[in-house]
Structure 1
Amino acid sequence: MVEQSRKFTAKKLATGLLAAVMVAGLAGCSGNNKENNSAASDTGSFNKEGLPIVSEPVTLKVLTVRWGSMGDTFTQNQWLKDLETNTNVKIDWQVMSSNDWAEQKSIMLASGTLPDVVLGDQTFSDSDIVNNLSYFRPLDDYIDQYMPNLKAAMEETPDMKKISTFPDGKIYSMPARLPSRPMSSRQPVINKTWLDKLGLKVPDTIDDLYNVMKAFKEQDPNGNGKQDEIPYIEVSNDLISPFGIADLNNNNMLVKDGKAVYYPTSEEYKEGLKWENKLYNEGLLDKELFTQDDTMRSAKFQNPDAPVVGFSYQWTPDAVFGKWGDQYETIPPIAGPDGKRYTIGNPIGMNLARNELLITSSCKTPEIAARWADQFYTNEASIQNFWGAIGTVIQKNDDGTYTLMDPPAGTSADAWYWDQSLRDFGPKYVSPAFEKNIVLSAESGDGLKLQLDKLGSEYVTEPFPNVMYTAEEFQELPTLTTDIDTYVNTMRAQFISKGGIDEGWEAYVKKLNDMGLEKLLKIRTEAYSRYVSVK
């Protein structure tokens, strides 16, 4: 938080003291908790296998962060309540809001006062963990000795181990594999009503798309007598994905023929810029492309009088168009100049994450915490911690399938899932073979995403993975990426709006090299090499 004037100093001090008190309350293994944990180890009440985990009740303090004002209703998930009964491990949930977590996190990391367990990848980032490794326990031995479910998951899906392995070769955080996630991310969405009115076919190639955009611009498909149609309104890699630029993690990197590639200096990217410049010159891209914010863009998507946007990339057609949603349809990926189609996404699914559970050095009984966490890595546990409990949100059928129930009236399915479960956060693993047993509605939400995924999943390219960096690399990356990314984005806007791409290309690449591109690539390629070498 930036201090605006001296009059805020007292308020900030009071806030800091309050946060410090709250952090003190999160201290792991303190007071009765410490006595209980110590007793578990000293008396031999810990069971290495089976349930309960401990013969005498033990309490773990578990910290997690929820978005905004979501609160802690998820703790009433029946599976979580049954877990306490079955394991004898009681959970003292410390649920914080993302609204004020940044300040509290800083105080916590500065003090080194942490709870027993930290849950959810929104709580601590890679750099938070790497720069404070002494606060977190290496988990390799605990996984090997006490976590058969996670161990089996990592053997079945090796990428779970790859994303969880830190630069020193150890695992400090547990991963998750979310169920029933698509392989592709945003896919092309077009106003089908406009196509039909103008007698046009769904575009198949970039030449087709250009012709459709031109017709949208010039032939008044919304029928209001104005030339207010905007064929495309965003600057994004989606529009140049037909050129092979399929950047899932927005870090300007691709994997090509098994090698890490920086694409903003590639020929494919250059040709993509020329394509965008052509569209811009002919008024097929929004004239406010580089000046509008999300609010302005949303207002155009949902223009109250008539639909004005012709083409976009979205998760689902109804995602942004408001009352005009029924006019839009998801279509297959557009073929590029090489005749191939490319979809941004991940061939193994958009479903892997790390840092979903950490056991801190403050915890005196990490073996209990490890066995407790391992209970989350079964198929049934995972679906209940992603959607909600069986009997509440999920119906278990006699044929071995699982059906999601309809949400209460007035509540969206997605909001209901967040209310009833850990949803995206926390440890979980659903085996690919088990997913066929999950019955989702193809009309909305997660089921609709899977349905639409069939259009583009076969064209999904291998993304540059979510690699891990060392503490030293984290020191260098921010300066390099801030300067270089800013220059790339500035020049992209200039090339699109003013052209001169061929004439200015050599100077553009030279400038990037002068700014330290070689050092940035060395960091990224070394991190990639470490990632692929994990066995």
Structure 2
Amino acid sequence: SFNFTTRRVKIVWEQIRSGWDEKKNTVLASGDVPDVFIGWGITDSDIAAFINVFMPLNSLIESYAPNITRMFNEQPDVKALATAVDGNIYGLPSIIPHRPNSFNIHSINRVWLDELGLDTPTTFDEYYNVLKAFKEQDPNKNNKQDEIPFDWAPERGLFTAMSMIGAYGNYAEDFSGEWTTAKDGKFVFLPVTEDYKKLVSYLHKLYSEGLINQEVFTQDYSQFQAKSKDPDYEIVGSTMGWSLEDRFGPVYAKDYEVLLPLAAEKGIKPIWPAHPPRTKYLTNKAQITTKNKNPEITMKWLDGFYTEEMSALGYYGSLDICVKKEGDKYIVLPPQDGMGADEWKWTNALVDAGLMYVSPELDKRIIAPASITERLEHDALYAPYFPKEEDILPILKFSKDDMDELSIIKTDIFKMVDIKWAQWIIEGNIEAEWDSYLNQLESMGLSRMKEIYQKYYDEYLGK
């Protein structure tokens, strides 16, 4: 913990580095909570489940938060996203700078392709052949078979092979971590689709031949990142991630290129996931608890994060260390200590976990480093493959009762989905077990889950 004083308000910070998800419910149920939460720690589900812990912020914003009020007036969509079904705002949102429309890029080692005389793959079959060559032909030339042809991030997060489900030309995941999407006005749960079954079968083929990292389901995120930044040799051939520099570091990144979406077979136009609201508008970045004896002062303090200067610094880091102000421009300075730009900003700022309002006009006056502009250029390469706007599931808001019911249903369903995702990719047998799997999910409330989602999706569509 550390203290600092600003305008006679003493802030005592407690930083939770790990284990929050495991103890969150106990903390919230106990009532022994801080005056304010900042960051990623609280979700809509938490607020619904422990509604008496969190203070409605509407009147506080109106009376004590001119910067947040300006954001809501200029960007009404973000106010709508921050507003619960009961009409109250319990968590403050943020609008962050320099955002692509897609979270994930698929990358491949260009140097290895050239070394082996291979063309960039465009289909699943071509990708299989490239990965096989990466495994067997020692492209990093160290006389060891240490190459990891394909790797992705652990768990059901952003940077997984689920992004490849668009190879069949039908669906794109929505980056919610719940593997949901929309198609023709209907809610779709991807793990029960035929495309999912086909994708898992393909991934099992890769895994069974050693073309996927054999630790893909047991590694943590830091191990995932470390493999692509091995200090001695490049060992990862193809992977998923936020950006080339983030995945490979400033030294290796130049050897990789973006791999455009693969088609399951020739003749299919693949889809690559995109979700503009989810990448730029972030909700629940701060909550004031009912334990707080000075909510007015707290709201004034929180509103200070939404000034123009604090928004720029909140994303990239401190003035004159990470950001230099020149006139009305904020120039992001080069990273230090041998870090890449992404690692440097995460070391010095709250980044996506922070409070800020970067308007479209301010976004243009924050001069980003080359790695950020490169990421936006890569996003433009994917743009022709983005789903139609009507096939992007919006961020839905649920009533407390429906959210409580969904929470119970999804706990069981996702436990089963996560187990089978890993098991089928490692061991195979998805075809033989598919009907039993669907029946088990149905017994856990799959139809009811889909019904609840569809109800709120229909309301969003105005049906």
TM range, smaller chain: 0.7 to 0.9
Post-superposition Cα deviations, 1:282-301, rounded to whole Å, max 9, x if no partner, equal: 54334555555667656654
1:95 and 2:13 aligned? yes
Question: In the TM superposition, what is the alpha-carbon distance from 1:403 to its structure 2 partner?
Answer: 0.8
Answer yes or no: is the 8 Å Cα contact 2:100–2:276 preserved in 1: no
**Counterpart Cα distance in 2 of 1:305 and 1:395:** 35
CA shift, 1:104, in A, is 9.2
Verify the 8 A CA contact 2:134 2:147 in the aligned structure 1: yes
Distance 2:441 2:144 in 1: 43
- Show the counterpart of 1:168: 86
1:108-159 deviation digits (Å, cap 9, x = unpaired): 75246653xx141334343443233234332334444554543342344343
Q: Residues 173-212 of structure 1: CA distance to partner in whole angstroms, max 9, x if unpaired?
A: 2111112222222211111111001222222333432332
CA contact (8 A) 2:151 2:240 kept: no
Greater relative contact order (Cα 8 A, min sep 6): structure 1 or 2?
Answer: 2
Give the aligned partner of residue 200 of structure 2: 273
Once the 2 structures are TM-superposed, how far is the Cα of residue 253 of structure 1 from its aligned partner? Answer: 0.9
Which residue of 175, 198, 202 corresponds with 1:248? 175
- The 1:428/1:318 distance shift into structure 2, 3 A limit, reads closer
- Are 2:141 and 1:223 equivalent residues in the alignment? yes
Could you say what secondary structure the match of 1:428 adopts? coil
Find the counterpart in structure 2 of residue 453 from structure 1: 379
Decide whether aligned partners of structure 1 residues 386 and 302 sit closer, same or farther in structure 2, where only a CA change above 3 A counts. closer
User: Given the alignment of the two structures, is residue 328 of structure 1 paired with residue 248 of structure 2, yes or no?
Assistant: no
**Which of residues 153, 161, 164 in structure 2 aligns to 1:236?**
161
Q: Does structure 2 conserve the Cα–Cα contact (< 8 Å) formed by 1:441 and 1:447? A: yes
Give the counterpart letter for 1:346 in structure 2. Answer: H
| Equivalent residues of 2:28, 2:50 under 8 A apart | no
Counterpart in the other structure of 1:260: 187
Paired with 1:168 and 1:440, the residues of 2 have a C-alpha distance of 39
| 1:134 equivalenced with 2:63 (yes/no) | no
1:169 and 1:279, CA in 2 relative to 1: closer, same or farther beyond 3 A? same
Are 1:491 and 2:420 an aligned pair? Answer: yes
Q: Distance in 2 between matches of 1:232 and 1:391?
A: 40
Query: Which residue matches 1:43?
Result: none
Tell me, what secondary structure is at the counterpart of 1:427?
coil
Alignment match of 1:212 (pick from 118, 130, 136): 130
Which of 272, 277, 284 matches 1:355? 284
Q: Deviations along 1:229-266, whole A, 9 cap, x unmatched?
A: 43213463134343434241221211223432111111
Provide the secondary structure at the position in 2 that maps to 1:232: strand
SS at match of 1:344: coil
User: Which whole-Å CA distance do the structure 2 matches of 1:299 and 1:365 have between them?
Assistant: 44
Deviates more, 1:425-434 or 1:168-177: 425-434
Q: Matched residue of 2:279: which SS?
A: coil
1:508 aligns with 2:426: no
Match of 2:156 in 1: none
Q: Give the letter aligned to residue 453 of structure 1.
A: D
The alignment of Structure 1 onto Structure 2 pairs a total of residues equal to 446
Question: C-alpha separation between the residues in 2 aligned to 1:297 and 1:391?
Answer: 32
- More displaced stretch, 294-303 vs 198-207: 294-303
Report the TM-score, using the length of structure 2 for normalisation. 0.80
Give SS of 1:179's match: coil
Q: Which stretch has the larger CA shift, 152-161 or 363-372? A: 363-372
Cα deviation, residue 528, structure 1: 4.6
Q: Residues of 1 paired with 2:429 and 2:336: CA distance?
A: 56
- Read off the aligned partner of 1:238 and give its amino acid letter: S
Q: Does 2:113 align with 1:195?
A: yes
Contact 1:184 1:349 survives alignment (8 Å): no
Counterpart pick for 1:405 among 319, 333, 342? 333
Q: Matched residues in 2 for 1:293 and 1:361: separation? A: 36
Contact kept? 1:162, 1:531, Cα under 8 Å = no
1:348-381 deviation digits (Å, cap 9, x = unpaired): 4623222223344455665554455444334333
| SS in structure 2 at match of 1:402 | strand
Q: Which amino acid aligns with 1:275?
A: Y
Q: How does 1:416-435 map to 2 (within 5 A)?
A: 417=345, 421-435=349-363
**Bigger shift: 95-104 or 272-281?**
95-104
Percent identical residues: 34
Query: Which residue of structure 1 aligns with residue 446 of structure 2?
Result: 517
3-state SS of paired residue (2:315): coil
Pair 157,219 (structure 1): closer, same or farther in 2 beyond 3 Å: same
Q: TM-score, normalised by structure 1?
A: 0.71
Identify the residue that residue 5 of structure 1 maps to in structure 2. Answer: none
Amino acid in structure 2 at the alignment position of 1:131 = A
> Secondary structure at the residue paired with 1:97?
coil
**Cα distance change, pair 153–214 in 1 and its aligned pair in 2 (3 A):** same
Please list the CA deviations of residues 453-500 of structure 1 after superposition, one character each: whole Å capped at 9, or x if unmatched. Answer: 333245444654554444444544454323322322333344434545
- Structure 1 stretch displaced more, 412-421 or 124-133: 412-421
Cα offsets for 1:476-527 (capped at 9, x unmatched): 4454323322322333344434545445433332222122211222344445
Asked if the contact 2:246/2:340 (under 8 Å) is kept, the reply is no
Aligned to 1:382: 311
Q: How does 1:103-142 map to 2 (within 5 A)?
A: 106=26, 110-111=30-31, 114-115=34-35, 118-142=36-60
State the Cα RMSD in Å.
3.7
| C-alpha displacement of 1:161 | 2.0
Letter in 2 for 1:188: H
How far is 1:318 from its partner?
3.9
Which of the pair has more CA radius of gyration?
A: 1
Q: Kindly indicate whether the alpha-carbon contact (under 8 Å) linking 1:108 and 1:114 is maintained by their aligned counterparts in 2.
A: no
1:484 alignment partner, SS class? helix
What residue in structure 2 maps to residue 58 of structure 1? Answer: none
Distance 2:41 2:418 in 1: 29
Pair 1:313-2:240 in alignment: yes
Deviations for 1:284-326, whole angstroms, at most 9, x for unmatched residues?
Answer: 3345555556676566545566433321112233434466554
SS of equivalent residue, structure 2 residue 234: coil
**CA separation in 1, counterparts of 2:440 and 2:134?**
38
> Which amino acid in structure 1 is aligned with residue 72 of structure 2?
M
CA contact (8 A) 1:121 1:353 kept: no
5+ residue gaps, structure 2, are 153-159
Cα distance in 1 for partners of 2:191, 2:446 equals: 11
Q: Does the residue aligned with 1:386 lie in a helix, a strand or coil?
A: helix
Q: What is the distance in 2 between the residues matched to 1:422 and 1:272?
A: 36
Q: What residue identity is the alignment partner of 1:110? A: S
Runs of 4+ that moved beyond 6 A: 530-533
1:276-295 alignment runs, 5 A limit: 276-287=203-214, 289-290=216-217
